[in-house]
Chains A and B, each alone.
Chain A
Amino acid sequence: MRSAKPRVLIVDDEPDILLMLRMNLEAEGHETLLAGDGETALRRIGEERPDVVLLDVMMPVLDGWGVLEQLSLMQDRPRVIVLSAKSTERDIHRAWELGADEYVTKPFDPDDLMETIVRVHQHRGNASFERSESSSNVSLDSATGIDATRPASWIDAARPRTEGALSFEYPG
Chain B
Amino acid sequence: MCDLDKRAGMHHSGNPVTDEETLIREARAAGLRRFKIPSLEAIERRRQQLWSITFVMLVALAAMVVVLSFWDKALPDALQQFGRMPVMRVFFLGVTTAFCVYVIEKERHLRKITRALVDERVLNSVLSNRVNELSVLSQIGRAINSVQDTSSVLDVILGSALDLLQASEGAIMLLDSDRHLLSTVCSTAPKDSSANTIPREVLVGEGVAGYVAQQRVPLLVSRRMDPTLFNRMVSPDSEIESAMAVPLVHRDELLGVIVVHETAGQTHFNEYDLHALGLLAENAAVTVSNARLFQAEREHVAKLQEVDNQRSEFVATVSHELRSPLTSILGSVRTLHKRGATMEPHQHDELLHVIERQSSRLLKLIDEILFASRIEAGENRLVRQPVDLVGCVGEVVTAFQGREHGDRVQLLAPPTASVTAIADPNAVQQVVTNLIDNALKYSGDSPVSVSLSTAGMEVLITVADRGPGIPKDELPHIFDRFRQGSDGNGHRGVGLGLYITANLVSAMKGRIWVQSDVGKGAAFTLTLPINREESTAAGSTAPRDSVTSAVQALPDEGAGDKRS
Give the interface size bracket for A toward B.
20 to 34
| Cross-chain contact A60 with B331 (CB below 8 angstroms) | no
| Cross-chain contact B491 with A60 (CB below 8 angstroms) | yes
Cα-based distance from A172 to B518 in the complex (angstroms): 41
Partner-binding segment picked from B35-43, B321-329, B508-516: B321-329
Q: Which secondary structure dominates where chain B touches chain A?
A: helix
Minimal Cβ-Cβ distance residue in B for A21: B331
User: Hey, what's the 0/1 contact readout for A5-27 against B, CB within 8 Å counting as 1?
Assistant: 00000000111110111011001
Chain B CB within 10 Å — which of A14, A16, A60, A107 has the most? A16
Distance to closest chain A CB from B331 (angstroms):
4
Query: Which among B324, B335, B491 is the interface contact of A20 at CB below 8 angstroms?
Result: B335
User: Hey, what's the 0/1 contact readout for A100-113 against B, CB within 8 Å counting as 1?
Assistant: 00000111111100
Cα-based distance from A13 to B326 in the complex (angstroms): 15
| Cross-chain contact B327 with A108 (CB below 8 angstroms) | yes
Partner-binding segment picked from B212-220, B254-262, B347-355: B347-355
Cα-based distance from A58 to B327 in the complex (angstroms): 14
| Cross-chain contact A63 with B347 (CB below 8 angstroms) | no
Query: Which among A60, A85, A86, A105 is the interface contact of B444 at CB below 8 angstroms?
Result: A60
Distance to closest chain B CB from A34 (angstroms):
14
| Cross-chain contact A13 with B490 (CB below 8 angstroms) | yes
Chain A CB within 10 Å — which of B321, B330, B490 has the most? B490
A61 CB within 8 Å of chain B:
yes
Cα-based distance from A58 to B486 in the complex (angstroms): 11
B358 CB within 8 Å of chain A:
yes
By the criterion of a CB under 8 Å from any partner CB, how many residues of chain B are at the interface?
A: 31
Query: Which among B331, B332, B404, B491 is the interface contact of A15 at CB below 8 angstroms?
Result: B404
Cα-based distance from A111 to B489 in the complex (angstroms): 30
B488 CB within 8 Å of chain A:
yes
A78 CB within 8 Å of chain B:
no
24 examples of A-B residue contacts, CB within 8 angstroms? A13-B491, A14-B327, A15-B404, A16-B357, A17-B328, A20-B328, A20-B332, A20-B354, A21-B331, A23-B335, A23-B347, A27-B343, A57-B490, A59-B490, A59-B491, A63-B489, A85-B320, A106-B323, A107-B330, A108-B327, A108-B331, A110-B331, A110-B334, A110-B335
A residues bordering B, Cβ < 8 Å? 13-17, 19-21, 23-24, 27, 38, 57-61, 63-64, 85-86, 105-111
Give 3 nearest A-B pairs by CB, closest first: A63-B490, A85-B323, A107-B327
